[in-house]
Amino acid sequence: MRKLILIVCAIFISSNISAQTDTCGTLIPDNVLVEYAQSGDLSLYKRTTITPPLRLAIHIVRYSNGSGGISQAELDQKVAGLNSDFQQAFFEFYVYKIDYIDNDNFASITDMEEANSLREINHINGCINVYFVPFLASLEGLSSFSPRIQEPVLIQTQGILVQNNASLTTLPHEMGHYFDLFHTHETLFNVENIARTGGCSNWSYSGDLLKDTPADFGGRVSFSYINNNCQYDPKKPPPPDGCGSTNYAPLTNNMMITELKICRTTFTEQQKDRMNETLLLHRSELLLQNLVLLKNDIENNNAGGALHLEATDYNSGEYVPVDDGVYTIGTDNERFVNYLGSGANYKHINWNLTSSDKFLSRSVSITSDDNQIAHFKELEHSKVELILEGQTFLDKGLGQFQDPWYVLSNASQPGNYWISFISSYEPTGKESAAAKGVFLNQGTD
């Protein structure tokens, strides 16, 4: 079994014999069993109406000085080309968000480790994350497959990388991979025979695992077999298949070929159905209506920590895709003690700068991309004393103090809890907390 380092070499140094300079770096991890990669009954996944528009999170990678990024005009052209090529499959995409990554190391990708590290930056759940880079070794693009195929160690590095000057069909080609289409000349599972029926038929466990994409020998030869008119025109006799046949009729205009990019225009019916199967069964988060940003915020900075939506925890700054509904959303951090070594203690004060929305966890109705920002404010050390005619009395006098944000040891927040004390009290904001303090000058925060 090839190790990950060999997969890297296969992508960037190209150990495969190919009929052309293969500028696609997408390879099926070799530990994937064919039964996991196979489709079910594709007739159940025939789409006749357009998908809800699928979100693209566009990450424009530039050099550290801000140069080298893809232009808006070039980006618009590539997204328009993507929609044009996928219209036949009833898929539609739109740009949900654009951000910039200014880093010399990621502007020039030279190996898979760098590619995977890049795909972890600014990644947005519920979106197809596309990274445009100035330089991608000898490649034009590469993509992850869905979790049913992707190697487990790489599941977290989901996304597509495209070199800025890649051909217009590169993004649609890589999007095909993203929805679990393989190259028509794939040989990892087995060399595909020409026959579609009978004893020599092996398409169900060979090649790209689809019946309506004819056997393609391109992955086994080093000569061209498609001419500039996009016609089948092998320069040498093709190699026989497993049954000795050589009467190939490979697709020359399919989106998942690699020889001539200008010829890539079509998907077969089963390719369309397989992409829809992947969308519905393995990438269904793309269909959820809303993206909710969960974030702990201190002075407009991501404070770190975690938040929860229902019973699932998320790192601060993560986007969570959800449908319309009512959800329990809260922060897992009541406070940050000695924040960033500053000596200051910050406690949760409200959500989305709404003073009445002050509890750590609460039910929220989500009907749109409604960000949930947990705001924190610095605690001020204070002391409450009982004074009678200017005199304090140790261990005498009963007082009460109400802290609307007070948290009990069971993590509940009554909101109207009165704390009883004798003589004096130094507020802590939480039962048994060591760090003391209270919100002063609250105003409308």
| CB 263 within 8 Å of CB 218 | no
Sign for the CA dihedral angle at 286, 288, 289, 292 comes to negative
Q: Which pLDDT does position 3 carry in this prediction?
A: 35
Bridge partners of residue 161, in order along the sequence: 131, 142
Residues of the chain under the 70 pLDDT cut: 1-21, 151-156, 441-445
Q: Which pLDDT does position 153 carry in this prediction?
A: 56
**Could you give the CA distance from residue 427 to residue 403 in angstroms, rounded to a whole number?**
8
In the chain, the domains with their CATH numbers are 34-179 (3.40.390.10), 290-379 (2.60.40), 380-444 (no CATH)
**Could you give the CA distance from residue 188 to residue 132 in angstroms, rounded to a whole number?**
28
| CB 70 within 8 Å of CB 98 | no
Sign for the CA dihedral angle at 354, 359, 365, 370 comes to positive
Q: How far is CA 417 from CA 330, 401, 414, 429, in A?
A: 20, 8, 6, 11
Selection from 176, 165, 12 nearest residue 91 by Cα: 176
Selection from 124, 133, 61 nearest residue 97 by Cα: 124
> What 8-state DSSP symbol labels residue 270?
H
Residues 6+ apart with CB under 8 A from 334: 347, 348, 360, 407, 411, 429, 430
Q: Which pLDDT does position 19 carry in this prediction?
A: 45
Q: Which amino acid is at 169?
A: T
